[in-house]
Structure 1
Amino acid sequence: MSSKRVITIGIGGASCSGKTLEKDLPIDPITNYTDWDCPDAINFPLFLSNLKNIHQDGTLPTTFVSNEVNNIFKDIERDELNELVKRLSLRINEVLSASVGRDNKNVEWYFVLVDGFLLYYDPEVINELDVKFFVKADREIMKKRREERISYVTVEGYYEDPPEYFDKIVWPNYIKFHKHLSLKGQSFSLINGEKSELKVIEDMVAFDSNHDKIFGENLEKAVETVIKFIEKKW
């Protein structure tokens, strides 16, 4: 009989797309734009319920549907990362084999990647994440990437950002709903926001992502972080 070991890996950072039905989204009172980038745009109770179930048995709800596969992304040069991915895969497999020992070959491992632009806003969601990553980028880099994504596939069709949406909605909300975060007790925020009462997440690892070339370095760091969690827990 096999046993399951589930590791939830949070990847938080800037806003990329809406997560709920457009008709249920709040309207920004200043711009009168539909606001996809605030906490009210996310069904946190449902998200948390699904996350707890996934954390327990490693499977998605049968009702889960993602539109992310229909969105078009700017791809990185994957050929340059092939050897790195192969090497890191071997490293992970060695660690997994060592953690279960010779007498237990029936362990099933599940690595669940949980991606969200407000992933570290709700304390209960944070508690369900075993490994926590935060991806940072400079304001102008984020703006350029957002503007390169022409439209987003949603439950109801397609959505396109209205004029100045990044400057008026995305960036202000990004600052507002992340300025509480700190990293390992340091006295500065993870992003350049106003100081407030800080929420220290001791085991969070932050990555800079201003350049695609740094992806390989970040990937290595992420894998080593997951390995440390495995070795510590099992």
Structure 2
Amino acid sequence: MMNVLSKVLVIGVGGTTNSGKTTLTKRLTDAIPGSSSMCQDNYSFSKDLKDERLNSLRIPELDCWNWEKIEALDMEKMVEDIQTKIDEHSCSVLFVEGFLVFNYEPLLSFFSKKYFLTLTQEECKRRRSLRVYNPADGPQYFDKVVWPEYIKVLEQVKLQPDVNFLDGENKQDDIFNQVLEEVNQLSENMGQGV
């Protein structure tokens, strides 16, 4: 739970690839004055394939790296950047979005509210096939890496009692309106307690 001395409300938006995390976060940030967001994708080591930390992520049989694991991300830097935003009070609400934001223990204490967007395997694969990634997905990457890793992530997140699961196949407006209302209510409650 958030430190009561902090005036920054931190909201986690997690979920599977292509479930609508970034779209939801952008809409919420646009709708809530004084809010800001951080995307876990910005902390990927994928831009430096020579980094020794990536050796354990190599999948020789697919001739690629596994970008779905926490080790593919500079999570220490992400935690540091979140703490800086909180310390500087540079926003009133901070949305932290990503596919593994609830799978890294040091991040969990920041969140006042957690949302996790789910998709069926078929819909997730369909949506992912419409996007271009750099590095690009190989032909078996989704079935052999993305989906199995997501299932592991989902099982870990289900062990957390305070996660709000949202069906990413529902209308985007419905998801947005629900989360916006809940975040506004939480923000009002926080303001009353300070």
Same fold by TM-score greater than 0.5: yes
- List structure 1 runs of 4+ shifted beyond 3 angstroms: 15-18, 29-32
Does 1:205 pair with 2:157? no
Q: Secondary structure at the match of 1:181?
A: helix
Measured against aligned partners, the alpha-carbon deviations of 1:186-232 in whole angstroms (never above 9, x if no partner) come to xxxxxxxxxxxxx3232x22211115xx1111111101211231233
Asked if structure 2 preserves the Cα contact closer than 8 Å seen for 1:6 and 1:57, the reply is no
CA–CA distance in 2 between the matches of 1:30 and 1:225? Answer: 45
Measured against aligned partners, the alpha-carbon deviations of 1:98-154 in whole angstroms (never above 9, x if no partner) come to xxxxxxxxxxx52222111101001220111222111111111111111110234xx
Instruction: Tell me how large the CA RMSD over aligned residues is.
Output: 2.1
CA–CA distance in 2 between the matches of 1:139 and 1:166? Answer: 10
Deviation for aligned residue 1:170: 0.5
CA–CA distance in 2 between the matches of 1:142 and 1:215? Answer: 15
Does 1:229 pair with 2:189? no
Q: Secondary structure at the match of 2:65?
A: coil
Instruction: Within 5 Å, give how 1:97-176 maps onto structure 2.
Output: 110-152=92-134, 159-176=135-152
Deviation for aligned residue 1:58: 4.0
CA pair 225-30 structure 1, distance change in 2 beyond 3 A: farther
Match in the other structure for 1:215? 172
Q: Which has the higher contact order (CA 8 A, sep 6+)?
A: 2
Asked if structure 1 preserves the Cα contact closer than 8 Å seen for 2:70 and 2:104, the reply is no
TM-score calculated relative to the size of structure 2: 0.72
Asked if structure 1 preserves the Cα contact closer than 8 Å seen for 2:16 and 2:99, the reply is yes
Asked if structure 2 preserves the Cα contact closer than 8 Å seen for 1:14 and 1:135, the reply is yes
Identity of aligned residues (%): 24
Match in the other structure for 1:28? 59
Question: How many pairs align?
Answer: 157
Asked if structure 1 preserves the Cα contact closer than 8 Å seen for 2:62 and 2:138, the reply is no
User: Which amino acid is the alignment partner of residue 130 of structure 2?
Assistant: E
2:13 to 11, 29, 37: 11
Asked if structure 2 preserves the Cα contact closer than 8 Å seen for 1:11 and 1:114, the reply is yes
Q: Which structure features the higher share of helix residues?
A: 2
User: Which amino acid is the alignment partner of residue 217 of structure 1?
Assistant: D
Q: Which has the larger radius of gyration?
A: 1
Match in the other structure for 1:45? 76
TM-score calculated relative to the size of structure 1: 0.61
CA–CA distance in 1 between the matches of 2:71 and 2:60? Answer: 14
CA pair 226-32 structure 1, distance change in 2 beyond 3 A: same
Deviation for aligned residue 1:29: 5.4
Asked if structure 2 preserves the Cα contact closer than 8 Å seen for 1:15 and 1:37, the reply is no
Runs of at least 5 residues in structure 1 that lack an aligned partner in the other structure = 60-108, 153-158, 183-198
Runs of at least 5 residues in structure 2 that lack an aligned partner in the other structure = 1-5, 19-40
